Structure 1
Amino acid sequence: MNAIAGVRDLLTRNMRQSGIFIALVAIVALFAILDPMFLSSRNLTSIVLQYTYILILAIGMVMVIIAGQIDLSVGSVVALTGAVSAVVVIQGGAPWWAGVLAALVVGLLVGAWQGFWVAYVGIPGFIVTLAGMLLFRGLTYVVLDNVSLSPFGGTYYEIANGFLNGLFGGQGYDVFTLVIFGLGVAGYAVSQWRTRRGKIAYQQTVESMPLFVAKIVVVAVVVMWFGYQLATYRGLPVVLILLAVLVIIYSLVTQRSVFGRHVYAVGGNLHAAQLSGVKVKRVNFWIFVNMGFLASIAGVVYSSRVNGAQPGAGNMFELDAIAACFIGGASTSGGVGRVGGAIIGGLIMAVMSNGMQLMGVSQAVQPIVKGLVLLLAVAFDIFNRRRAAALR
C-alpha cells in the first residue's frame, strides 16, 4: 500500500510531466500493437532522422513560450538559412563548414532583428514574428531565385544522414552505440541522485527509495533497448549526438543559470521581475537571438536531410514546434515549461506522424488528429492551473 501511495503522490505532485510520459508510452504501445513494424530498428532510426529538426526548434521555442512570447517565423527561418547554406556550398563551391557558418550567422541576425522589435520597440512577439514569417519566406525566394538547389553531398549531407559505427567493433550490433547509451544512462542516474540529495538537504519531499530506484531502472531499460535497436541497424546517428548535446546544454541553461531563472521570472510575473531588477528587455532580446540560432541549426539539419534547399521548405514547422512545447507541459500563460518536456512533446508528435504514415492514414486526417491532441494538451494545462488555484 505504501508503494501505491508513493506512486499516487508522485503523479499528483508532478502531473504535468508524468502525464506526458504516460501519454508517450500509451501512443507507442498503441502503434506497436497496430503495426509490429513500428518498433523495428529501421523505423526507429527513421524517426530519429526525420524529426530531429522539429525537436531542435522545440528547444528554442519552449524558452520563448516560458518568457510569455511566441515565434511564428521559425519555419521561414529554417528555409532561409538552408537556402543561404545551399547558395554558399552548391552554387559557390565553398566547403561544407562555410555553408554551416553562413547559416548560423544569418540565424543570429534574424534573431537579433526580431529581438530588437520585441524588446526595445515594444511590439508584441506575435506580430513581429508573423511579419517575420512573411519577410523571411520572401527572402528565401529571393536567395534561391525561385528554384531549388541540390545536391549538397559530401560531409554536409552526412550531418543529418551520417552514422557513427564500427569504432569498437561488434558482431551484428554496434558496440560504440551501446557504450554511448550506457554512458547516457549512467549520467542520468547520477543527475537524479544528486537532485534527490539536494531536495533532501532542503527538506523537500522526495519519492521513496524503492520508487526512485524503480524509476531509474525503467528509464535505463527503455533507453538501452532503444540504443540496442539503433545498434543493430546502422549505429548511432550523428544528428542524435547533436540533439543530445543541445538538450544537455539548454537543460543546464534553463535550470541552473541566472539567465534561465530570469526567463522564468519574466514569463511568470513580469511586474515582479521588473521590481526584482531583472533586465526584461535584455532577456526578451536574447531569447529571440537564441531562437534564431537554433532555427539556423534546424535549417542546416533539414537541408542536409533532404540534400538540398527549396523555397517552400519549413512550411508549418513553427506549428509543430509550438505544439510540441504545449503538449510537453508548457503553459499558455508563460512561466512554466521544461526542455525535457518539449522533447517528449515533440516525440509524441513524431510518433503520431510516423505511426499514422505506417498505417496509411490519409494526409487529410493526420492534421486533424494532431490538432485534437494539441487542443487536449492545452485543456489539460488549463485544468491543472484551475485545480492549483482551487487548492490555494
Structure 2
Amino acid sequence: MESLKNMFKDNIKQYSMVIALAVIMLFFQVISGGTLLKPLNITNLILQNSYILILAIGMLLVIVAFHIDLSVGSTAAFIGAVSAILIINMHVNFILGIAIALVIGAVIGAWQGFWIAYVKIPAFIVTLAGMLIFRGITMVALDGTSIAPYPQGFQKISSGFIPDFFHGNGMHITTILIGIIFSLVYVIFEVRKRNDQKKYNFTTIPQSLLILKIAGIVAVINAFTFTLAQYKGIPNVLVLLFALIAIYTFVTTKTVIGRHIYALGGSEKAARLSGVKTKRITFLVFINMGILAALSGIVFAARLNAATPNAGQNFELDAIAACFIGGASASGGKGTIMGAIIGGLVMGVMNNGMSLMGIGIDWQQAIKGLVLLLAVAFDVYSKSKNA
C-alpha cells in the first residue's frame, strides 16, 4: 500500500490526467448513448486531433524550456499554403513538396529562435509577431481563396489506412495482430525495466501491482486496436503520431540534449553555469517547433484536401492547453511527451463529446478555458504544497 501511495504521489499529475481522461470518456459514452466509442467515431477522433497532437509534442519542449510559441497556428497555415502552391499549382511531386515545406518550417523556427536565443527578445513578443506575419503572408499567398485538390498520395497522409494484408471479412486482421505484437513488446519492456531496476537496487513497485498495471495497459491496447479493426484499421496519421511519440520520448528521457532542455527550463542561469549551451538549446527547440508546425500544417491540409486562408486558427491555444492539462509546468522544467498527448486527448474527447451532445462552439470554448485554468491552478497548488 505504501509503494502504491509513493508511486501515485510521484506521478500525481500524470495519473490524475489519465483518470480524468477515462472518466470524461465514460461520461460522454453514457451521455451520447454509446456513440463516442464507436469505431467510426474513434477513427474520427484520431483524424480530427492528429495535427494538434503533433503541435503539442513540439510545444511541450518549448514550454519545458520556459518559453512559449504563439505562431504555430499561423505557421501551419502558411506551410499549408506553400505546399498547395508547390504541389497543386506548380505540379511538384508531393514528396518533394513535403520536404521543401518542412525545410521552410525549419527556417521559420530558426528565424524566431535567433531573435529569442541570441537577441534576447522574449518568446512571447517574437512569436506574437510571427503569428501576425505568417498569417498575413498566408492571406497574400492564397489571395484570400482556397487551393484544391491535392493528389491522392498527399491526401492519404490524413485519409489513408494501413492495408489489411490478410483481407479479413468485416474485420481488419492486420490491426488486431499489430495490437497483439505491441502488447508483447510492452510486456517484455516492462519486465526488462523491472529487472534493470532490481539489478541496480532501485525502488520497484510490488510484483502484484506490476502485473495489474501490465494487464490494464494490454487490455487498453487490444481494445483500442480491436475497435479500429471494426472500421478501416489503423490510420496512416496514427502511425506518424506513434513514431513521433516514440522518438521524442526517447530524446527527452534518454539523451543529453533532452536533459539540457529540462535543465534550461528549470533554471537558465544554473544550466549555463553547468556548461549547458543555453542559447543553442533554445535555438534548436524553436527549429524543432517550426518543423513540427510545418508537419501539422501538412497533415491539416491533407485532411481538408485544400489550403485555406483560415487554416490553423487557435491551433496554438489548443497545443498550449494540451501541454498544461497534461502536466507541463507553467514555470518550465517539467512535463512529458505522453502527458502532452493525454492532455490533447482530453481536449479532443471533450470537443467531440460536447459536439455529440449538441453543445454550441461558444460554450465549448468556455468549458475548455475553465479546464485549462483548473489544470494550471492544480500545478500551482501542487508546487506550493511541496515547497
Partner of 1:363: 361
Query: Hey, what's the Cα distance between the residues in 2 that align with 1:191 and 1:104?
Result: 33
Superposition deviation, residue 316 in structure 1: 0.3
1:112 maps onto 2:113 in alignment: no
1:28 maps onto 2:46 in alignment: no
1:7 maps onto 2:1 in alignment: no
Query: Hey, what's the Cα distance between the residues in 1 that align with 2:127 and 2:163?
Result: 41
Partner of 1:121: 119
Segments of structure 2 that go 5 or more residues without pairing to the other structure are: none
Partner of 2:96: 98
Superposition deviation, residue 186 in structure 1: 2.6
Query: Hey, what's the Cα distance between the residues in 2 that align with 1:191 and 1:83?
Result: 42
Superposition deviation, residue 123 in structure 1: 0.7
Preserved CA contact (<8 Å) 1:77 1:136: yes
- Aligned AA for 2:31? L
Query: Hey, what's the Cα distance between the residues in 2 that align with 1:169 and 1:318?
Result: 41
SS in 1 for 2:359: coil
| Runs of 4+ with deviation above 4 angstroms | none
**Deviations 1:343-371 (Å, cap 9, x if unpaired)?**
00000000000111111111110001100
Query: Hey, what's the Cα distance between the residues in 2 that align with 1:194 and 1:384?
Result: 32
Identity of aligned residues (%): 48
Superposition deviation, residue 6 in structure 1: 4.0
Partner of 2:58: 60
Query: Hey, what's the Cα distance between the residues in 1 that align with 2:357 and 2:223?
Result: 24
SS in 1 for 2:203: coil
Preserved CA contact (<8 Å) 1:80 1:137: yes
Superposition deviation, residue 230 in structure 1: 0.6
Superposition deviation, residue 8 in structure 1: 3.0
Query: Hey, what's the Cα distance between the residues in 1 that align with 2:237 and 2:100?
Result: 19
Partner of 2:272: 274
Query: Hey, what's the Cα distance between the residues in 1 that align with 2:238 and 2:84?
Result: 23
Query: Hey, what's the Cα distance between the residues in 1 that align with 2:310 and 2:112?
Result: 21
253-262 vs 91-100, which moves further: 91-100
1:203–1:271 Cα change, 3 Å: farther
- Aligned AA for 1:368? A
Superposition deviation, residue 225 in structure 1: 0.5
SS in 2 for 1:236: coil
SS in 2 for 1:164: coil
- Aligned AA for 2:240? L
Superposition deviation, residue 236 in structure 1: 1.1
Give 1:55-94 correspondences, 5 Å limit: 55-94=53-92
SS in 2 for 1:85: helix
59-68 vs 101-110, which moves further: 101-110
Query: Hey, what's the Cα distance between the residues in 1 that align with 2:320 and 2:192?
Result: 31
1:342 maps onto 2:337 in alignment: no
Query: Hey, what's the Cα distance between the residues in 1 that align with 2:280 and 2:144?
Result: 37
Query: Hey, what's the Cα distance between the residues in 2 that align with 1:340 and 1:198?
Result: 22
- Aligned AA for 1:108? A
SS in 1 for 2:335: coil
Partner of 1:42: 40
1:386–1:126 Cα change, 3 Å: same
Indicate which of 124, 128, 134 corresponds to 2:132.
134
Superposition deviation, residue 309 in structure 1: 0.4
Query: Hey, what's the Cα distance between the residues in 1 that align with 2:333 and 2:3?
Result: 28
**Deviations 1:169-202 (Å, cap 9, x if unpaired)?**
2232111111222222233333333333343344
Superposition deviation, residue 145 in structure 1: 1.9
**Deviations 1:308-337 (Å, cap 9, x if unpaired)?**
001110000000000000000000000000
- Aligned AA for 2:224? F
Partner of 1:168: 166
- Aligned AA for 2:13? R
Preserved CA contact (<8 Å) 2:138 2:309: yes
Superposition deviation, residue 223 in structure 1: 1.4
Preserved CA contact (<8 Å) 2:164 2:175: no
Preserved CA contact (<8 Å) 2:59 2:323: yes
Aligned-residue CA RMSD (Å)? 1.2
- Aligned AA for 2:42? L
SS in 2 for 1:150: coil
Give 1:179-218 correspondences, 5 Å limit: 179-218=177-216
**Deviations 1:39-74 (Å, cap 9, x if unpaired)?**
100100100111100000000000000000110000
Task: Give the TM-score of the pair, scaled to structure 1.
Answer: 0.96
Query: Hey, what's the Cα distance between the residues in 1 that align with 2:193 and 2:320?
Result: 29
- Aligned AA for 1:8? K
Query: Hey, what's the Cα distance between the residues in 1 that align with 2:199 and 2:331?
Result: 32
